[in-house]
Amino acid sequence: MFEMRRPGAVLFDRDGTLIRDVPYNGDPNRVEPMPGALEALVRLRRADVPVAVVTNQSGVAKGLVSPDEMDQVNARVEELLGPFDAWAICVHDDADGCTCRKPAPGLVIRAAAVLDVSPRDCVVVGDIGRDMEAARAAGARGILVPTEVTRPEEIDQAPEVADNLIEVVDRVLTDAEDPVPAGARIAAPWARAMGWSRW
């Protein structure tokens, strides 16, 4: 059970969580935010909670999406939803045996490192079991927001389930009853300059 306190960061899956899931999408014009995504992010930013994206993009490894197309889609996500403090992207396929592709913890660990917070102080928000498994493997708190593609067993096995992103933010900000001492979180202004963190 996680101690109920202000998160060091909230890490969002991209497809099916922040934006509608369009499989192997390389067209920025097809990017559509999920309901409540912008409001949820605005509230977290106003609360000075860092927000990041942790996303599997195997379409690059499969040759279905070019790195440039992926970058254009990510840029469109930021146009619609505002800037993120970090992006951690796995461009590998399942057979590549990497340590970053969810359900492995690599993306969560990398995003936390960029933001200079512990993975244990992060909340990972996603729509499928892989997201929750990655959170668990990294020692982070996981909150599942199911969609039509989420399997019943993934819901049953999730550590926490929320109906939507607004409920997620209600929960993580309400949990944070104690104010954070001044200077407790050091922002990482260089994170934006790093661009997309993919490997």
Residues 56 and 113: their CA atoms lie apart, in Å, by 18
Mean pLDDT of 44-49: 97
**Of the candidates 188, 186, 144, the residue with the CA atom closest to the CA atom of residue 163:** 144
The CATH number of 3-175, from 3.30.200.20, 2.60.40.420, 3.40.50.1000, 3.90.1300.10, is 3.40.50.1000
Instruction: Indicate the average pLDDT of the chain.
Output: 89
Summarize pLDDT for 69-94 with one digit per residue, the tens: 999 999 999 999 999 999 999 999 98
- pTM, whole model, 2 decimals? 0.87
Question: Tell me, what's the pLDDT at 119?
Answer: 97
Summarize pLDDT for 10-40 with one digit per residue, the tens: 999 999 999 999 999 999 999 999 999 999 9
Q: What are phi and psi of 82, to 5 degrees?
A: 90, 170
28 CB burial (10 A radius; 0-12, 13-18, 19+): middle
Summarize pLDDT for 123-160 with one digit per residue, the tens: 999 999 999 999 999 999 999 999 999 999 999 999 99
Residues 104 and 130: their CA atoms lie apart, in Å, by 8
Residues 137 and 162: their CA atoms lie apart, in Å, by 20
> Which sequence positions are flagged as catalytic?
13, 15
Q: Using the structure block, give the residue that is written with the tokens 């039509």.
A: 148
> What is the helix (H) or strand (E) element at residue 198, kind and residue range?
strand 197-198
SS3 53: strand
Percentage, residues of the chain above pLDDT 70: 85
Residue spans of the domains in the chain: they are 3-175
